[in-house]
Amino acid sequence: MFVCASIECFPPADKEEAPSKLVDLEFSAVELPVHEEGISWIRPSEVLAGLEPAIDRCGDVKRLAVAALSVEQTVDGRPLQGELYYEQFAACCKLAKALKVVPLVVPAAELGTPFNEEIERLRELVKIASLEGCLVALKTEIGCMTEDPDTATVLCDNVKGLGLCLDPTHYITGPRQGRDFSKVMPYVYHAHLRDSTKTEMHVRIGQGEIDYGKLISQLEAEKYNRALSVQVPPIEGLDHRAEMRKIRLLLESLL
Query: Given pLDDT bands bounded at 50, 70 and 90, which one contains residue 73?
Result: very high
Residue 181: closest CA among 127, 141, 143, 208: 141
State which amino acid sits at residue 209: E
| Structural domains in the chain (count) | 1
Read off the pLDDT of each residue in 155-175 and give the average, rounded to a whole number: 96
Q: Where in the sequence is the domain holding 190, given as residue range(s)?
A: 2-254
CA dist 215 to 121, 125, 148, Å? 30, 28, 18
Domain harbouring 62, CATH code: 3.20.20.150
CA dist 177 to 148, 149, 209, Å? 10, 11, 11
Residue 105: closest CA among 227, 252, 244, 14: 227
* Side-chain half-sphere CA neighbours of 205 within 13 A: 22
Span 189-221, pLDDT tens digits = 999 999 999 999 999 999 999 999 999 999 999
Q: What percent of the chain has pLDDT over 90?
A: 92
What residues have CB less than 8 Å from 104, skipping those under 6 apart? Answer: 68, 69, 70, 71, 92, 93, 96, 129, 134, 135, 136, 137
Q: How far apart are CA 148 and CA 142, in angstroms?
A: 8
Length of the chain: 255
Q: How far apart are CA 127 and CA 125, in angstroms?
A: 5
φ, ψ for residue 75 (rounded to 5)? -135, 115
φ, ψ for residue 67 (rounded to 5)? -90, -30
Alpha carbon 187 to its chain centroid, in Å, reads: 14
**Residue 160 φ/ψ region, left for φ over 0, alpha for ψ in the -120 to 50 degree band, beta for the rest:** beta
SS3 for 126-143, per residue?
HHHHHCCCCEEEEECCCC
pTM of the model: 0.95
SS3 (DSSP) at 203: coil
Give residue 180's pLDDT: 87
Query: Given pLDDT bands bounded at 50, 70 and 90, which one contains residue 174?
Result: confident
